[in-house]
Amino acid sequence: MSAAAGLRRQVVMTMSAVTLAVVLLCVLGSYAFYALLLTFHPASVSDSWMPSSVELAWVMITLVLALLIAVYVATRLSRRILPPLDSVAISLRQLAQGDLSARASADDRALHEAAQLVHDFNATAQRLERMAQERAFWSAAIAHELRTPVTILSGRLQGLSDGVFEPSAAMLASLMTQVEGLTRLIDDLRVLGLQESGHLQLQLQTTCLAGEIRSMVLAVEPALQASGMALTLDLADQPVLCDPVRIRQALLALLENAMQHAQPGALHVAASVRAGMCTVRVEDSGPGVDAELAPRIFDAFQRGELARARRAGGSGLGLAVVQAIAQAHGGQARCLAGSRGGAAFELSWPA
């Protein structure tokens, strides 16, 4: 039942109770009044259509009592309904003026429906405030990520233009690395934006997941070896329904995350299908992820210790892209404690 329907029901029930009380007062009170009057003072009962002074006094007393009952009940009901609604109205005005910290309040006397309305408003205001904070954080974080490659490109190109630097294959390769980093950042932001708006389209098809993983691992194997990673595979050859391009993108992000943040050692990649769920698991040898950080590890720009992340590189969007791809497949991504002392990242979706 909605809050408006609940309030309407409460008002109808209260007014019905007031009407019933007034009717009972008039009917039963009249019976009692005339019974007493006929017993103790029968001469006061009028024989014509004009009431006697005693009867007029009774009519006035009944009217006053009915009005007192109505005023009392209306006052009690208004105290339980109006203050929460006034608080919501004031907070809405503050919210419209840009004060996202505005919150409504309701005391213990408020009706359940009015209190629920206050709770829902506060939850909405809190979400709006959090979204505004996240938008500000995203703007600052994206500007921070773009500043380094753009500064490097600008400096190098200006140096080449002024003749400070001599064109060379190494310098051009360095510039291409920065351009590739910008392209990757833009693509990650696009994936996250599409997923946030519900427009991340998938090209689902029956895929040999083991073959896709082997081809991706083969492409990044030199980089894995350079990072000191000893790769082991445990892949099920069962075909699954997925978007192979997006799954490769997610797996690449998980492998790059391991190369950037995990210590050299064993890196285990597994794929399995159990109970109708397909799971891709990447497990490293350490140092693992703090328990406090694990629930937020898939948030954008969430990279634990910032200094360590800066030395390792990366934009901080890789794991957020993994979660976006998992959710687009109807699944989820999780960070668990691995059996080898490190972190295990799982990407799972309905097979």
Residues 90 and 49 in one domain: yes
Residues 190 and 217 in one domain: no
Residues 7 and 122 in one domain: yes
Domain end residue (candidates: 196, 213, 235):
196
Question: Is residue 47, in this structure, part of any structural domain at all?
Answer: yes
Residues 108 and 216 in one domain: no
Instruction: Answer whether residue 311 shows pLDDT above 50.
Output: no
83, 117 Cβ separation under 8 angstroms: no
Q: Which whole number is the average pLDDT over 195-214?
A: 84
Bridge partners of residue 269, in order along the sequence: 233, 282
Those residues with Cβ within 8 angstroms of residue 130's Cβ, 6 or more apart along the chain or in another chain: none
262, 308 Cβ separation under 8 angstroms: no
Residues of the chain with pLDDT > 90, as a percent, come to 1
22, 55 Cβ separation under 8 angstroms: no
Residues 189 and 209 in one domain: no
How high is the pLDDT of residue 291? 73
How high is the pLDDT of residue 315? 55
Question: Is residue 120, in this structure, part of any structural domain at all?
Answer: yes
**CA separation for the pair 198, 193 (Å, rounded):** 9
User: Residue 155 — very low, low, confident or very high, per pLDDT cuts 50/70/90?
Assistant: confident
Instruction: Write the CATH number for 341.
Output: 3.30.565.10
Instruction: Answer whether residue 135 shows pLDDT above 80.
Output: no
Among 65-69, 176-180, 241-245, 268-272, the minimum mean pLDDT is found in 176-180
Residues 108 and 241 in one domain: no
User: Residue 2 — very low, low, confident or very high, per pLDDT cuts 50/70/90?
Assistant: low
Residues 123 and 150 in one domain: no
349, 326 Cβ separation under 8 angstroms: yes
Instruction: Answer whether residue 251 shows pLDDT above 60.
Output: yes
Question: Is residue 134, in this structure, part of any structural domain at all?
Answer: no
Residues 93 and 148 in one domain: no
Average pLDDT, the chain: 81
Residues 223 and 189 in one domain: no
Query: Range of 171's domain?
Result: 141-196
Q: Which whole number is the average pLDDT over 339-350?
A: 85
Judging by DSSP bridges, how do beta strands 229-235 and 265-274 pair with one another? parallel
Domain end residue (candidates: 107, 128, 149):
128
Residues 149 and 252 in one domain: no
Higher pLDDT, 126 or 316: 126
Question: Is residue 121, in this structure, part of any structural domain at all?
Answer: yes
Which residue, among 294, 292, 276, 275, has the nearest Cα to 334 in the 3D structure? 294
Structural domains in the chain (count): 3
Domain end residue (candidates: 95, 128, 161):
128
How high is the pLDDT of residue 321? 86
The 10 Å Cβ neighbour count of residue 274 is 10
How high is the pLDDT of residue 3? 59
Question: Is residue 135, in this structure, part of any structural domain at all?
Answer: no
Among 16-25, 203-212, 308-317, the minimum mean pLDDT is found in 308-317
Instruction: Answer whether residue 19 shows pLDDT above 70.
Output: yes
Question: Is residue 133, in this structure, part of any structural domain at all?
Answer: no
How high is the pLDDT of residue 192? 80
How high is the pLDDT of residue 306? 39
Question: Is residue 83, in this structure, part of any structural domain at all?
Answer: yes
Residues 262 and 322 in one domain: yes
Higher pLDDT, 258 or 46: 258
Q: Which whole number is the average pLDDT over 29-43?
A: 80
pLDDT digits (tens, 9 = 90+) for 271-288: 988 888 899 999 888 787
pTM: 0.60
Residues 217 and 338 in one domain: yes
How high is the pLDDT of residue 309? 42
Instruction: Answer whether residue 303 shows pLDDT above 70.
Output: no
Question: Is residue 136, in this structure, part of any structural domain at all?
Answer: no
